[in-house]
Structure 1
Amino acid sequence: MTAGAVTFRSVLAVGEFRALWFAELLSQAGDQLARVALSVLVYQRTNSAALTGLTFALTYLPTMIGGLLLAGLGDRFPRRTVMVVSDVVRAVLVAAMAIPGVPLWLLCLLLTVVVMANGPFKAAQLALLPDILDEQRYVVGLAVRNVTVQSSQVAGFAGGGLLVSLLDPYLALGLDAATFALSALIIQVGVRWRPSARSAKDPVRLTAFGSVWRDPRLRLIALVSWLSLFYIAPESLAAPYAAELGLGALAVGLIMASHPVGSIVGAYVFTRYVTEANRLRSLALMGILAGIPLVFCVFRPELTTSMILFGLTGAFSTAYTLQCAATATRLLPDTGRAQGIGLLATAALTAQGIGALVAGSLADLSGASLAVAFCGMAGVAVAIPLTYAWTRQVHTVGPRT
């Protein structure tokens, strides 16, 4: 079957996938809206790009703990149950964050636990997808999921910027809590229960790390995923970047929305018009192309040009992210799929958290635009040897037949 034979519509025709799709649309939109609120709130209180970057990092970095220690729950317990419980926990904690006047330190503590709960949810969700979609639909299903995530980011970031500028950041957090509750309900009703991949009595082992480490292909996929360390800079520095341009909260949301807009285009083009053999071959090359647009921020472009550059980075980074996920899922055994996918997803999200922190520190020293440009240069430099290494391994993977 050709790359264009399976369409987004045919994937969305699968009822269980449609339930997961709608649930993720809700919770992701709320998450991005909350990120705008937190970025604006912290920058207003502290006027520090470094502390803003640190807060943004807390929306990603604790996933390392959740992914490493809790992702295996998606193999040891029914995956639908893991997702529902994770959503309920996050709904309660984010509702506590939405109480006006919560101290900044408590806000950060609650946020850390919320993000930790994202690890088992995402691992269980991605491990469940191959059970819902056959191989022909799977990679297109990943693209639909990515478009959903990025579309909800656009709505959350752009709408969040407007909402926060007109109303109160705590309202955004309250809406985020509601989306988690609705997501749990939709998954419970719309996704069929399946038994766990292995017995809950089995001892917990970090088998995924060994599987990834021993397989050079999975090691490279993990390293390519870590390129997000460099490419998170525009989103994490949106508030100081907008301030550098003399703009306000609405511009913060628009800058944050630029990357997901590009991701939507990139996901559609990459899965619709590029054959799987070419997707495999270009996996790491996309990492080089993702960094090049950010380099042009050295010229301190105005808002529209900056948004275009950030959108291009989003398109290319989405291309390698999709292929990393599809290839890794094929290489991992079902009994350890959730833990393996959780480990790789954790690596990418943790890299984003570290990158946000580093970018914020650089911005305090050099300014936001120069910090973004430096991150782009560093990403290109790291991606070049990874691209060479992947060309020596890609023949051992091969496209689906």
Structure 2
Amino acid sequence: MSRPGPLRGPAFRRLWIAGFVSEIGDWVLLVALPVHVYQRTGSTAATATTFVVALLPSLALSPVAGVLADRFDRRKLMLVVSLAQAVTLLPLLTGDLVLVNVVTAVQAGLAALFEPAKNALLPTLVPREQVPAANGLVALNANLARLVGASLGGLLLGYTGLTGVVLADVASFLLAAALLATLRTSDQRRGAGAPAWRAWLDGLRELRGPLRPMVAVVGLMATGQGLFVVLFVVFVTERLGGGAAEVGLLRGVQAVGGLLGGLLIGVLARRLTPDRLLGASLLGFAAIAALGWNGPHLTTALVFYLAVFAVVGVPGVVAGAGMMSVLQLHTSDDVRGRVMATFGSLYDGGQALGMVLAGALMPVFGLSALLNAQAALYLAAGVLAPAVLRGRRAAPAARP
């Protein structure tokens, strides 16, 4: 008889649905807003600025987000943030382009407060052996929301303009808030404690324990992802002779593999510990990436790369869920929010580093060398990942 999965628990089920609804709204806006800006301005620089301002708040607010997630009731914090996200979208209805970047930055800042609280709360809602499967379902959400929300964003912008896009996103946040309002947890945080700066430093000290190897693992993963974001477009256009349609198609098909990966995690997690799940998926990702990057020596047929980039979505999602599970299960509940926020900031910084390196090193080493270096970063992370649990014991995942 199969064991009940995480969705059998009403608390996690509400969190899962709330996250799904909210992410659909995020993708609706993420796809539609840059298109709207470009249609109004005709400026590539203005469009790029919309993306850049979405990255900075996460780095700036990481210390605050972690302390808040550990100091206050996480469910209530997420509820307040969801309501704030709905309200702060409304200025976009004025149509003023000056407000676009302001609203984008505010939304990114609120999301930076939401994510550590969600990731810190999740292990307290399911038995610890179900944490990897729960993270797999969250990853499944992200890919399904990407498919639904991206398509919906384009349709709404075309048929209703920015007004319909904004109202759809507002509705998604309000629905998520309603679900969070009915979520019941045993969290009893009341906000007392050391000054915020000292609390943040206390959280950083956690990185000197069992999670120390994860700093290198996450840094390698993030740098590799940053390289990918820049080099992927160059690879498709220069090596495969594709254009914008091919770039979009090959990026989108990764979500199909991501859906399969999210469904497989529950099965894999019963056979592998989270650190081995992470290591195996990173090694698989490196092997498939190396195959794809060197594939043009054999063929440039689009169907081959559709298959490669669909398949690579599987270990990509499994690696993300494995990483999250290792961080959650090897951190005590009292500091988990700060640890999750710190690693989130580390990942964003690593991505930025990878993007900068891609631009700076392309003229020096060429595309092929950097593509293979990207696969090598994932290979190194996969080899290092199992060291996280070697000779160490996991921290308790949840309060009684």
Shorter-chain TM-score bucket reads 0.7 to 0.9
> After superposition, what is the alpha-carbon deviation per residue over 1:305-343, rounded to whole angstroms, capped at 9, x for unaligned?
554433333322222221121122121111111111222
Q: Give the structure-1-normalised TM-score.
A: 0.79
> After superposition, what is the alpha-carbon deviation per residue over 1:8-56, rounded to whole angstroms, capped at 9, x for unaligned?
xx321211111111111111011112111134345554564x7655533
Post-superposition offset of 1:152: 0.9
Contact between 1:230 and 1:376, CA under 8 Å: does it hold in 2?
no
Does 2:222 correspond to 1:228? yes
What aligned pairs does 1:281-320 form with structure 2 within 5 A after superposition? 281-294=276-289, 296=292, 299=296, 305-320=304-319
Contact between 1:159 and 1:253, CA under 8 Å: does it hold in 2?
no
Residues 24, 292 of structure 1: alpha-carbon distance in 2 compared, 3 angstrom cutoff: same
What aligned pairs does 1:206-221 form with structure 2 within 5 A after superposition? 206=200, 207-212=202-207, 214-215=208-209, 217-221=210-214
2:86 aligned residue: 91
CA RMSD of aligned residues (A): 3.7
**Corresponding residue to 2:260 among 248, 265, 286:** 265
Residues 344, 176 of structure 1: alpha-carbon distance in 2 compared, 3 angstrom cutoff: same
Distance 1:306 1:279 in 2: 30
Segments of structure 1 that go 5 or more residues without pairing to the other structure are none
Aligned residues: 382
1:328 aligned residue: 327
Post-superposition offset of 1:168: 3.1
1:150 aligned residue: 143
Residues 375, 346 of structure 1: alpha-carbon distance in 2 compared, 3 angstrom cutoff: farther
Contact between 1:262 and 1:315, CA under 8 Å: does it hold in 2?
yes
Post-superposition offset of 1:73: 0.7
What aligned pairs does 1:322-401 form with structure 2 within 5 A after superposition? 322-352=321-351, 355=354, 376-397=371-392
Post-superposition offset of 1:237: 8.8
Does 2:109 correspond to 1:110? no
> After superposition, what is the alpha-carbon deviation per residue over 1:129-179, rounded to whole angstroms, capped at 9, x for unaligned?
222211132221111122112211121123334444555355324322221
2:187 aligned residue: 194
Amino acid corresponding to residue 390 of structure 2 in structure 1: H
Residues 169, 256 of structure 1: alpha-carbon distance in 2 compared, 3 angstrom cutoff: farther
Distance 1:34 1:57 in 2: 15
Does 2:216 correspond to 1:203? no
1:82 aligned residue: 77
**Corresponding residue to 2:68 among 65, 68, 73:** 73
SS in 1 for 2:194: coil
Contact between 1:41 and 1:169, CA under 8 Å: does it hold in 2?
yes
> After superposition, what is the alpha-carbon deviation per residue over 1:282-324, rounded to whole angstroms, capped at 9, x for unaligned?
5235334335555535749576555443333332222222112
> Which region of structure 1 is more displaced relative to structure 2, 149-158 or 171-180?
171-180
Post-superposition offset of 1:375: 6.2
Distance 1:78 1:115 in 2: 21
Distance 1:311 1:170 in 2: 34
Amino acid corresponding to residue 230 of structure 1 in structure 2: G
Contact between 1:288 and 1:379, CA under 8 Å: does it hold in 2?
no
Contact between 1:57 and 1:356, CA under 8 Å: does it hold in 2?
no
Post-superposition offset of 1:109: 2.8
> Which region of structure 1 is more displaced relative to structure 2, 174-183 or 158-167?
158-167
Segments of structure 2 that go 5 or more residues without pairing to the other structure are none
Amino acid corresponding to residue 117 of structure 2 in structure 1: A
Does 2:17 correspond to 1:22? yes
Amino acid corresponding to residue 92 of structure 1 in structure 2: V
Does 2:121 correspond to 1:122? no
Contact between 1:291 and 1:377, CA under 8 Å: does it hold in 2?
no
SS in 2 for 1:200: coil
Distance 2:395 2:72 in 1: 29
Identity, % of aligned positions:
20
Rg (Cα) greater in structure:
2
Residues 399, 343 of structure 1: alpha-carbon distance in 2 compared, 3 angstrom cutoff: closer
Contact between 2:37 and 2:47, CA under 8 Å: does it hold in 1?
yes
Q: Give the structure-2-normalised TM-score.
A: 0.79
Residues 184, 282 of structure 1: alpha-carbon distance in 2 compared, 3 angstrom cutoff: closer
Residues 161, 374 of structure 1: alpha-carbon distance in 2 compared, 3 angstrom cutoff: farther
Amino acid corresponding to residue 27 of structure 1 in structure 2: S
1:182 aligned residue: 175
Residues 32, 158 of structure 1: alpha-carbon distance in 2 compared, 3 angstrom cutoff: same
SS in 1 for 2:97: coil
1:36 aligned residue: 31
> Which region of structure 1 is more displaced relative to structure 2, 55-64 or 289-298?
289-298
Distance 1:121 1:392 in 2: 30
Contact between 1:245 and 1:302, CA under 8 Å: does it hold in 2?
no
**Corresponding residue to 1:134 among 123, 127, 148:** 127
Residues 57, 292 of structure 1: alpha-carbon distance in 2 compared, 3 angstrom cutoff: farther
Post-superposition offset of 1:58: 3.6
Residues 291, 183 of structure 1: alpha-carbon distance in 2 compared, 3 angstrom cutoff: same
